């Protein structure tokens, strides 16, 4: 007849080997990539935010202009 399926248990040694391989691979990748680039300055962040904010204002102004034009019957 049908026999019961054996309970599968994780292999602790295999898990440890897998974790060790992952750590080794991450260490090699970090070494290959080297140190991180220069830190982002506050001036760069301010310019980036101003640029994105300006683009958002232009977009919202365009949407508002189209809405006003449609509501006025145009």
pLDDT digits (tens, 9 = 90+) for 28-39: 998 888 776 667
Within-domain flag for 65: yes
User: Could you tell me the residue range of the domain that residue 51 belongs to?
Assistant: 39-74
Within-domain flag for 69: yes
* Predicted local confidence at residue 10, as pLDDT: 84
Within-domain flag for 63: yes
Q: Is the pTM of this model over 0.75?
A: no
Within-domain flag for 32: no
Cα–Cα distance list, 43 to 40, 46, 48, 58, 73 (Å): 8, 5, 9, 23, 45
Q: Residue 50's closest CA among 38, 58, 62? A: 58
Q: What is the mean pLDDT of residues 14-33?
A: 93
Q: Tell me how many domains the chain contains.
A: 1
* Predicted local confidence at residue 26, as pLDDT: 94
Within-domain flag for 9: no
Within-domain flag for 66: yes
Within-domain flag for 62: yes
Within-domain flag for 17: no
Least confident of 3-17, 35-49, 51-65: 35-49
Q: What is the mean pLDDT of residues 51-61?
A: 98
């Amino acid at each position: 007849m049908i026999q019961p399926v054996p309970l599968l248990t994780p292999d602790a040694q295999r898990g440890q080997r897998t974790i060790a391989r992952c750590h080794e691979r991450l260490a090699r990748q970090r070494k290959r990539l080297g140190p991180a680039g220069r830190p982002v300055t506050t001036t760069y962040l301010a310019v980036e935010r101003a640029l994105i904010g300006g683009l958002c204002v232009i977009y919202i102004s365009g949407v508002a202009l189209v809405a006003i034009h449609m509501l006025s019957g145009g």
